[in-house]
Amino acid sequence: MARLDNDGHDDGDDAGPKDAVEAIAAAVTQLTETLVLARVLVHAGMAVDLGGLEREVGDLCADAIALPRAEGRDMATPLADLLAEIELLERAMEDRPPTL
């Protein structure tokens, strides 16, 4: 995902905050879908590789913080939903260790 400058623009791009919000929302949706799939795999007893998850979530949060205040507030619910999905995956991993 592209990094945003302090005005909520894609670095090197003239996109406005609305474009940045849409890009962040799309990335949150994609990551949430990936986490749902990971949870399904965990429930099936498979191991999942979460390498890069922390960085990806950190980047999304940093991008949301870089947005102008009003647009940043719009990201609160999608990011909270993402956190909830991370917590569901964490519980699934605790409840069902992978079969070897």
- Which pLDDT score, from 0 to 100, does residue 96 have? 82
Q: Summarize pLDDT for 53-62 with one digit per residue, the tens.
A: 999 999 999 9
Task: Give the helix ranges, DSSP H, for 1-99.
Answer: 17-43, 53-66, 69-74, 76-95
* pTM of full prediction above 0.85: no
- Which pLDDT score, from 0 to 100, does residue 59 have? 94
- Which pLDDT score, from 0 to 100, does residue 97 have? 74
| Residue of 37, 23, 39, 14 lying closest to 78 (CA atoms) | 23
Q: Summarize pLDDT for 44-96 with one digit per residue, the tens.
A: 999 899 999 999 999 999 999 999 998 888 899 999 999 999 999 999 999 88
Q: List the domain boundaries for the chain.
A: 17-95
Q: How many residues does the chain have?
A: 100
Is the pLDDT at 4 greater than 80? The verdict is: no
Q: Summarize pLDDT for 21-35 with one digit per residue, the tens.
A: 999 999 999 999 999
